[in-house]
A and B are shown apart, each in its own frame.
Chain A
Amino acid sequence: MPRFKYRAFKLIRMRVQGCTNRPFYEIVVTPKDNPRQGRPTEVLGFYEPLPNLNNEKILAVNLKRVRYWMGEGALLSQPLERLLGLSGFLPVHPIDYLDAFRNRKKLENVTEKGEDNVQSAS
């Protein structure tokens, strides 16, 4: 028998809802050991990754509660860290910087090639 009752730390992460080819995520607080679709401690918001008619991906979070749970010691999953970083609540995640870096590089390459083509054509 264990001496102490084992308690997993809380994790703020996403729970998949929606249906086939139509993903929809709920942002929830759960103990880390819980199954992905298990009953959460609290639902903090939702995230729709598919752009809607106005070409928006909607993220709705109760930031007060996120602050509370982070103060209680809850950790965030990486996708959520990135989303909150992009939304301005947390610092921007390094992976996003990496993506931006790569995109910039690709764009530079394309423009250089384009210029070369233009020059060669003229």
Chain B
Amino acid sequence: MASACVRTCNSLKSLNIVYPLSLRVCNSSVISVRWRKPRWIPKTQSKLFYVRKPTPRDEEENKMLMQKYANYRTQMKAIRSYFTKFVQEEKQARKEYDKSVGIEQELAEVRLSIEVNAQWNQESANIREARELAEAQKSAKIKAIKDQKQKEKDEEQIAELQSRIDNNIKFSEKFITQENMDEEIEKVLDSRKDFNFPINRKGQRLTRGKTKLKEDISSEPDA
């Protein structure tokens, strides 16, 4: 920053701008409120001897305002002092009250309120317990009914499964085993089937075994 200042100074000097000493002193010391330009730059030529015109004041208004302001200030001062006094008195009164009776009385009130609170709590607890008991009984009833229903359902299912198993056991008597395998093979070889018949698009049979031999008709189960 300092170097920059020096440079600008030098540049001014190099321009051969020389101002009278009095003006320079004036710039640095007397006129202090200058923000945009650095301090060492002098006033512009046009503003060198500029003096601001004072704001025009109405004589009558000014006189009235002076008087009113004086009155207002005194009144406000009085009001303020009254308020301060009032507040201090209030505080003092509060302090004294606390000292003499306030704390004991408040403690007594607190104790009483605690008692009353406990009583209310007991009352509400009684109500709550009764309600909870009723709710528990109700829910138990509902659960019992549900369990019964479930049990019945399970039993039904087991019975159905049992019947299916029984059926399968009954059907298993017709199964081909190692023992009767030869017999069964013989039976199949002996039997004769003829698939030479027309069907429709749904796969249904159209004619009833016209091509079948007379001896085979009797052996056909679903003819």
Residue B83 contacts which of A70, A98, A101, A102 (CB distance < 8 angstroms)?
A70
Point out the residues of chain A lying under 8 angstroms from B65, CB to CB: 94, 97-98
By secondary structure, the B interface counts as helix
Point out the residues of chain B lying under 8 angstroms from A73, CB to CB: 84
Contact indicator A101/B75 (Cβ below 8 Å):
no
Interface residues of A in 55-87 (CB under 8 A from B): 67-68, 70-73
Point out the residues of chain B lying under 8 angstroms from A102, CB to CB: 61
Point out the residues of chain A lying under 8 angstroms from B85, CB to CB: 71
Point out the residues of chain B lying under 8 angstroms from A94, CB to CB: 65, 68-69, 72
Q: Known: A98-B61, A98-B64. Is A91-B86 also a contact (CB below 8 A)?
A: no
Point out the residues of chain B lying under 8 angstroms from A67, CB to CB: 83, 86-87
Confirm or deny: A110 has a beta carbon within 8 angstroms of a beta carbon on chain B: no
Confirm or deny: B136 has a beta carbon within 8 angstroms of a beta carbon on chain A: no
Point out the residues of chain B lying under 8 angstroms from A91, CB to CB: 71-72, 75-76, 79
Contact indicator A71/B88 (Cβ below 8 Å):
yes
C-alpha spacing A98/B61, complex, angstroms: 7
C-alpha spacing A112/B216, complex, angstroms: 141
Contact indicator A90/B79 (Cβ below 8 Å):
yes
Confirm or deny: A93 has a beta carbon within 8 angstroms of a beta carbon on chain B: yes
Confirm or deny: B80 has a beta carbon within 8 angstroms of a beta carbon on chain A: yes
Interface residues of B in 34-71 (CB under 8 A from A): 61, 64-65, 68-69, 71
A96 to chain B, nearest CB (A): 9
Point out the residues of chain B lying under 8 angstroms from A71, CB to CB: 80, 83-88
Given contacts A91-B72, A91-B79, 5 further A-B contacts (CB under 8 A): A67-B86, A71-B80, A71-B86, A94-B65, A94-B68
Chain B: residues with CB nearer than 8 A to chain A?
61, 64-65, 68-69, 71-72, 75-76, 79-80, 83-88
